[in-house]
Structure 1
C-alpha cells in the first residue's frame, strides 16, 4: 500500500526553514507578513509542532528502541557535522578569521548538547538537542497512560503547558546558560510538540472553519496583543532573550497564533507548491538546510571577496573585509540595497541540498563496492 503524503505539513516545514534562514540573513530582503507574525515568535515552535504531528503512539511500546532511533537520527549527525565544522573553523582561524572557538573535547561533545554555537559555521544545530529532549520526555510521560487513550493526550498536554510556562518564567529571570538554558529551550518547545499530537488526534477533523472567519479571529487576537504591548512580540530562544515581554503565557500564545496562521496558509497554497520539486526537496531536507545554511552564507561572502580582490577593489568596492572575517552572519548588500539579501536566502536554502546529493552519491558508491566485493 502506497504511503499517503501529507503535503500540507511538508509545505509547513518548507516555510519553517525559510523563516529560520531568513532570520539569519537579516530577513532575506523580503517580508512575509513579519509586521504581524514575526518569525522569531513562532518559527522554532513551528518545527516542534510539525515534528509532534508525526509522532506515533506505537513508539510507546518500545521506548528504549524509540529513544535510540531518535538519537541516531538527530544527534549522531549533529556530533559528526559539529566535528567537521570544527576542523574547517580551525583552518579559517589560522587564516585571519576570528569567529568561533578552538577544538576541545567540551566543544566537540558537550557544547552541542547544552549551548551550541562553538564553531559558528553550524550554530543553528543547537536546536536539535532540545527537540530530542522534548521527544524523549514526551514518550516517557505518555507511556504510563498509554492504555488510557481518551485522557492521555489531555494529561500530557496539561503537563507540557505547565512546563512551557515555567520555561518562560525561567527565561524572564535570566536562565540563559548551560543546563538552565537547556531547560528554557526544551521547556518552551514542549507544549507545541504535544499540541500537534492533540491537533492530529482530536482537532484536525474539526478544523473546517471558513478562511474568512479563521483569519479574522487570528488577526483580531494578534492585533489585541500588538495593541497591548505596542509592538510585535518575539523571542530569541537560542539565548532565552525577550521573555520579559508580556507574561509567562505570552510566548505560547503568540507562537500558537503564528503557527495557526501559517498552518491555514499552507493548506490553501499546498495544491500549487506541492508540484515544485525544489520546494519538496527543501521540505524533505530541513535538517541539512538547518546544518549548512550559515556555511552557505560564508561561501557566498567568499565569492564576493574573491571578486573584490581579483578586480583590485574596483568591483564590490563596499565589501567589508573586517566583517567578513569576524561576523559569520555578515550580509553584503551592493549599494546598500537590502533587497540583495535575497541572494543569501536563496543560497542558504539551496546550497545545502548539494551536500544531500553528494551524500547520496557516496552511499551509492559504497554500496556498489560492498556488493562487488561480495
Structure 2
C-alpha cells in the first residue's frame, strides 16, 4: 500500500479499536470525554471508504456492484450465518441443555439485510456492511450519470442537507423498517464525499497547518459544545442501524460532531502516526476491521463461557449467571481492569481466527485449485 494511504490504515485501525472499546464500556476511552466514540466512528469508516473511492463516468456499474457484493454482502451473510451457529452452540452451553435452533425465525432475520441490517445480537455491529454497500453503489450510480455536472463543493452541501433532514425526520417519526436503508444512505452519503474532498483538496493544505494548534481548537470546540448541550452525551448518537439514538435537540449536531471528531483523529494520526506505518499489529488490525466489527461480541461471549466454566469449579464474585444466559452483551466486571481482557479477546480473537483461516484453509485450497488448473493445462497439451 502506498505510503500516503498508511495514514488511513492507521485511522481505520483506530476506528475499530474505538468500536471494541465502546462495547467494553470504555476500556481506554481515549479522549472520549471530549470526543465520544459514538459521535464520529461510524461516519469515519464511510469517510475512509470515500478517501479510496475512485468511481467516475468510466466506471462499469455492473462490475463495480458485483465487486461490492463479493467484498461486503457475501462476507456479511457468511459471517452472520457463522455467528448464528456459534450463538446457538454457546446458548446450549450456557443453559446446559440443547436449545431449539428455530431455523425459520433465524432464516427470516436475513431479510433485515436491507432494513436495519441487524440479523443477530451477537453480531449486531454488522448492520454497517449492507449500509456501506448501499451507500457506495448509490454514490457510484449518481457519480456516473451526473459526472459532467458533478461539483463536489455543491454536492457536499446537498448531501449535508439530506443528512440533517434525516436526523430531523428520525427524531420526530416512528420509522417504517422499509425506510431504514434509504434513510441511512441519505445520512451517510455526505461522509463518502467528505473523504473524496479531503483527499483531493484538504489533505495537502492541512499538511502545512500547525497540528497542535488545530487539535487544541477542535478540543475547545467540543468542550464548549458539551457544556451548552442539555446533556453532555447529546453530542453523540447511538443505534444508527435503526436511526433511533439521536438525543440532541438540534438536527445538525451529528454532522458537526462527526466532522470535529474525524478531523481531530486525522490530525492525531498526522502528528504521531508515522512510527506505526509499518507496524504488523496495526496493519493486521486495519486489514481485518470487517471481521473485528463482525465477531468481537462473539469473542466476548467465548470469554464469558470460559468464565462460566471456571465459575462451576470456583465461584467468581458477582458473576451473574442469569444475565450471562440471557444476554450476549453481558460483561463480568468484578474488577474494572477485567475490561482489558474483553478488549484483547474482541480485537485479537477475530484477527487470529482469520489468520488461521488463511493459513490452514484458504491457502491450501488456492494451492489445490492452482495445481488442478496446471494439471488440466498439461493434459490439454
- Which residue in the other structure is 1:269 paired with? 272
1:291 matched to 2:287: no
CA shift, 1:229, in A, is 0.5
Between the aligned partners of 1:317 and 1:191, the Cα distance in structure 2 is: 48
With 288-297 and 93-102 compared, the bigger mean Cα shift is at 93-102
The 3 A distance-change label for structure 1 pair 120 and 59 is farther
Between the aligned partners of 1:170 and 1:134, the Cα distance in structure 2 is: 19
Within 5 Å, which residues of 2 pair with 1:85-104?
85-94=83-92, 102-104=102-104
CA shift, 1:169, in A, is 1.4
8 Å contact from structure 1 (residues 25, 329) kept in 2: no
With 336-345 and 215-224 compared, the bigger mean Cα shift is at 215-224
8 Å contact from structure 1 (residues 100, 118) kept in 2: no
- Which residue in the other structure is 1:7 paired with? 6
Between the aligned partners of 1:180 and 1:100, the Cα distance in structure 2 is: 32
1:21 matched to 2:20: yes
Within 5 Å, which residues of 2 pair with 1:156-167?
156-167=155-166
8 Å contact from structure 2 (residues 163, 188) kept in 1: yes
8 Å contact from structure 2 (residues 115, 181) kept in 1: yes
Between the aligned partners of 1:66 and 1:11, the Cα distance in structure 2 is: 26
- Which residue in the other structure is 1:278 paired with? 281
Give the total of aligned pairs.
365
With 138-147 and 171-180 compared, the bigger mean Cα shift is at 171-180
TM-score by length of 2: 0.88
- Which residue in the other structure is 1:324 paired with? 324
8 Å contact from structure 2 (residues 126, 293) kept in 1: yes
Match of 1:344 among 342, 345, 354: 342
Between the aligned partners of 2:355 and 2:191, the Cα distance in structure 1 is: 32
- Which residue in the other structure is 2:116 paired with? 115
**Structure 2 residues without counterparts, runs of 5 or longer:** 376-381
CA shift, 1:93, in A, is 4.3
Within 5 Å, which residues of 2 pair with 1:28-107?
28=27, 30-58=28-56, 60-94=58-92, 102-104=102-104, 106-107=107-108
Deviations 1:314-362 (A, max 9, x none): xx232111121112111112xx322221111111011101221122121
CA shift, 1:106, in A, is 4.9
**Structure 1 residues without counterparts, runs of 5 or longer:** none
8 Å contact from structure 2 (residues 91, 325) kept in 1: no
CA shift, 1:223, in A, is 2.5
Match of 2:246 among 222, 243, 247: 243
1:132 matched to 2:133: yes
8 Å contact from structure 1 (residues 167, 184) kept in 2: yes
CA shift, 1:179, in A, is 2.2
SS of residue in 1 equivalent to 2:151: helix
The two structures, once aligned, show a CA RMSD in angstroms of: 2.4
8 Å contact from structure 1 (residues 175, 240) kept in 2: no
